[in-house]
Amino acid sequence: MAREKSFLQQEYHARIRNELKKELNLKTVMAVPHLEKIVINMGLGKAVNDKSIVNDAKKELAIITGQVPIITYAKKSNASFKIREGMPIGVKITLRKEKMYDFLDKLINFALPRIRDFRGLKPTSFDGRGNYTLGVNEIIIFPEIELDKVRSMKGMDITIVTSTTDDQKAFLLLQKLKMPFAKNN
């Protein structure tokens, strides 16, 4: 049985796609920018001393996203960071389709508003290829995470990958998806 589309995904297909087609003067809806994937990475520097941090991060990221993340390992040894090749140093996950839209909806409507003194996301965090990356300092902004069960504070990097290579088109797409960008004053 097919899973029901999330609100954000329905909104994109029903309204946003057609609006972008008109605004960008595109001939077909297939040329309209869309989200391809969301990659979430948690680099865990403290994992060098405490191996349980990686397992905790894996469980917490699975709770937030609804998908099991993979553990990332060090590719090279680095004596200054006390890292040996093959040591677990983080977890990452790639979200696509419905889970991607579910996560983005949760991020925009629940998590970001819970950040203390939040005044919007920087519109300059695009990479020049139409992808947007933001850093979250504390995972406790997500409603699924219970503060008393978190042993150590961890942050994450969230990269939103779009189908366009133009930052302006990607910005317009994310703006239509209600991404809370800061106003330039």
Please report the pLDDT score of residue 133 as a whole number: 92
Q: Residue 51 domain-assigned?
A: no
Nearest-angstrom CA–CA distance, 123 and 41: 21
Question: Which parts of the chain sit beneath pLDDT 50?
Answer: 1, 185
Nearest-angstrom CA–CA distance, 177 and 181: 11
Secondary structure of the chain in the HEC alphabet?
CCCCCCHHHHHHHHHHHHHHHHHCCCCCHHHCCCEEEEEEEEECHHHHCCCHHHHHHHHHHHHHHCCCCEEEECCCCEHHHCECCCCEEEEEEEECHHHHHHHHHHHHHHHHHHCCCCCCECCCCECCCCCEEEEECCHHHCCCCCHHHCCCCCCEEEEEEECCCCHHHHHHHHHHCCCCECCCC
Q: Residue 183 domain-assigned?
A: no
Tell me 79's DSSP state. G
Q: Residue 65 domain-assigned?
A: no
Tell me the residue range of the domain where 106 lies.
7-41+92-176
Q: Residue 66 domain-assigned?
A: no
What is the number of structural domains in the chain? 1
Please report the pLDDT score of residue 92 as a whole number: 92
Nearest-angstrom CA–CA distance, 7 and 164: 23
- The first and second tokens of residue 40, run together, are 């979430």
Q: Residue 78 domain-assigned?
A: no
Angle between helices 97-106 and 52-65 (to 10 degrees): 100
Please report the pLDDT score of residue 1 as a whole number: 45
Name the pTM for this structure.
0.85
Please report the pLDDT score of residue 48 as a whole number: 61
For the domain that residue 171 is a member of, what is the CATH number? Answer: 3.30.1440.10
Q: Residue 28 domain-assigned?
A: yes
Tell me 183's DSSP state. P
Q: Residue 99 domain-assigned?
A: yes
Q: Residue 109 domain-assigned?
A: yes
